[in-house]
Structure 1
């Protein structure tokens, strides 16, 4: 494939109006993620109909499932940073090799992590303070989920290749289609219909497996055959080493940083568990709602890095600085509006996701406090992704450590000791305020040093 043909599958992000470019990239991601996250909430809703124990069991799985997903996210970040820089430098052939290597690494590493998680399932959830009556539900769900996570690795990293090439529309469609299929299959397998037996919480995991298997098949066809953004064959060992070295240099610290989040989440889940299964159920619903409330942040964390990587590769630090400043201002204003909406609708949302009044009351309390810090959390998340895009993975990892284990966990735990569950929620907000200030300082200092070195 000649370079002219290859360029048709990519988009140059080093030219044009910054705001217009970011908006063009982000809007499709938002739409795709709105649909995907909405389907995730539908999944939670169907599980909630099974009872509080099943909902609590799903809540306990979040830190563990996100650990596996975090490896995919980290490898996707490394893939996006490396391929985006190569695109900015015009090295298209090399980008194809690195894309193939990224997908192969993701498949191998996630398979190993999933196998370890399956073998150590009981000890892991015991450490998370899951009670004995929840363990059967957890085993039913995670037994299938670990197997399906291997297939999730391919569309997640594959979408990072597309975004690095400036295409955010196709990943949005893939995400939305996968989430939609999952949501459609949920009631069929959870509650049964005709010859299909009711499988309860296990059915939710089976629906996820089928959706991800189809998504993995399509992304391989799209990248290898239709777009020709990866090599349509398995790599040799020397090729895998060559392509994997740089991706892992950024991807492993990024994965480690992302894995710190579920570790911190596991600690917080264990703390919340001291307040009972109702509190854990409310905490789980709140975390799912956080994904919806932060959807613009999550979308921009996928669209800002390719922009930064390409301009970083093209040696245009001023465009990087302007894009970062514009994004931070927007996200703070946007998330304040989101908080006000959630505050007004907190009672209604709580009633939708809880059958028991105590759970509903705790969900409402969560919604009245925690979302106030989402804008500041967005500053941290986008700064972290920007540092990775500028090939500073260890600095991004340090920022994650500061965020979670200097501020988030300690401040929240102190809040819970002093003011119970309400104090824990306020601790989340205070931690985000402190970390946002640190994040802004680190980014400005890093960008100045990068521009000076150049």
Structure 2
């Protein structure tokens, strides 16, 4: 094999095709956990500083979340497609096609995000008015979103670039990029928001500028790693024919994955609307519970990023026994881990409720949430990891179908029916039952699909 078709070895990468399965997943996942913890922490700091500006700036930035999350969900979906395609090529030792796909993914994501943000830039007023923003908030929304739209193309760094690195087995570098970009944002936030020395106070616009600078840093960092350290992308333009082929492969998985990602906030909005019928205390408690869920399921989210590259590489190499082993190891670990998390949450429920509120009604509802819903987080982990595994096996439509069934056939309907009979406790119990049923469906379907795949080569399956 020629030098141009080989990927430079790097000590940060693990051998996904040969290293022990459980140890490999552990080595890949732990760095991702560190990066995600840092990023979540810095994002909380970001919200904290904007909150110091007052209610209106905080409300304005809250209105931006659905729009920004839509763009981010799209790039995450493209990242999932990128990771699956590249990892499969690397598993087949086809490094030229892997580099083509990585390069094409950056072009594709930049073009799509730029087009989407351009449209958003010119329809800011009608879009946010439709979302319910009052006219008095529109100037503040413009201050933030005009900068955000301009810099959004830099999202290809942390989203697509990190997906390429994970596909090659390197999860330490993405965690460094996530953490350092978040740190830069946290440091610059108070400087640009409130002013420091010669830098004037820019309010909510300062928060957007801090975010933009952190993204530019992340993009520059990841491009340097991809070109100079790992040799995972081309530094010259791809021929049009190769570019089109690579983009089709990525979109085949990326678009369904992005669609599945965008279903989650929609389901959350519907769930919040149901909860709202029980009053402001219920909404406040549900909001606290939802934030606790993102922390309690951190390991699941980290594994959902590291399991797919492992599966895709071994799938490409035809080592389906390692795919099966990895899936089962991840599922068993998540079930045990989330039981431990549930016990901790249940024992600390009184203390957790007291930290978030002094109102007895809200505290009681927070405790009710903690005692019921986290019991199903391990089962929710099965659902998430199964979806990730189907994407990794280049079966994105099955993953999308499972997401639709989970949210709109099991989770939301059972939660609503439960609320009709037993109020808020029934709502939580119904959501729990929805996760139980969907976990059983997901595990059974993956087992059947795996048996089917085991009898065919990767070329025959895809």
TM-score by length of 2: 0.87
- Correspondent of 1:163 among 140, 162, 166: 166
Equivalent position of 2:296 in the other structure: 293
Contact residue 257 and residue 401 of structure 1 kept, 8 A: yes
Equivalent position of 1:153 in the other structure: 156
For 1:174 and 1:219, the matched residues in 2 are separated by 7
Distance change in 2, residues 1:144/1:369 (3 Å): farther
Question: Any idea what SS the aligned residue of 1:235 has?
Answer: coil
Question: Any idea what SS the aligned residue of 1:13 has?
Answer: coil
Equivalent position of 2:460 in the other structure: none
How far did residue 3 of structure 1 move? 5.8
Distance change in 2, residues 1:400/1:130 (3 Å): farther
Question: Any idea what SS the aligned residue of 1:443 has?
Answer: helix
235-244 or 113-122, larger mean C-alpha shift: 113-122
345-354 or 373-382, larger mean C-alpha shift: 345-354
Flag the structure with more relative contact order, 1 or 2, with Cα contacts below 8 A and sequence separation at least 6: 1
How far did residue 365 of structure 1 move? 5.2
Question: Any idea what SS the aligned residue of 2:237 has?
Answer: coil
Equivalent position of 1:330 in the other structure: 333
Contact residue 111 and residue 150 of structure 1 kept, 8 A: yes
For 2:437 and 2:71, the matched residues in 1 are separated by 28
Rg comparison, structure with higher value: 2
RMSD between superposed Cα atoms in Å: 3.0
For 1:424 and 1:453, the matched residues in 2 are separated by 43
For 2:357 and 2:125, the matched residues in 1 are separated by 27
For 2:118 and 2:424, the matched residues in 1 are separated by 35
How far did residue 140 of structure 1 move? 4.4
Cα-to-partner distance string for 1:116-145 (whole Å, 9 max, x where unaligned): 344444555555556667666555444433
Distance change in 2, residues 1:263/1:413 (3 Å): same
Distance change in 2, residues 1:412/1:172 (3 Å): same
Contact residue 18 and residue 323 of structure 1 kept, 8 A: yes
Equivalent position of 1:2 in the other structure: 3
Equivalent position of 1:312 in the other structure: 315
Question: Any idea what SS the aligned residue of 1:6 has?
Answer: coil
Equivalent position of 1:441 in the other structure: 444
Structure 1: tracts of 5 or more residues without a match: none
Contact residue 8 and residue 230 of structure 2 kept, 8 A: no
TM-score by length of 1: 0.89
Contact residue 5 and residue 95 of structure 2 kept, 8 A: no
1:451 equivalent to 2:445? Answer no
Equivalent position of 1:254 in the other structure: 257
Cα-to-partner distance string for 1:30-68 (whole Å, 9 max, x where unaligned): 111111122222233334445566555555544433221
Cα-to-partner distance string for 1:83-140 (whole Å, 9 max, x where unaligned): 1111111111121111100111111112222233444445555555566676665554
1:347-386 correspondence to structure 2 within 5 Å: 348-349=351-352, 366-386=369-389
How far did residue 254 of structure 1 move? 1.2
Distance change in 2, residues 1:113/1:264 (3 Å): farther
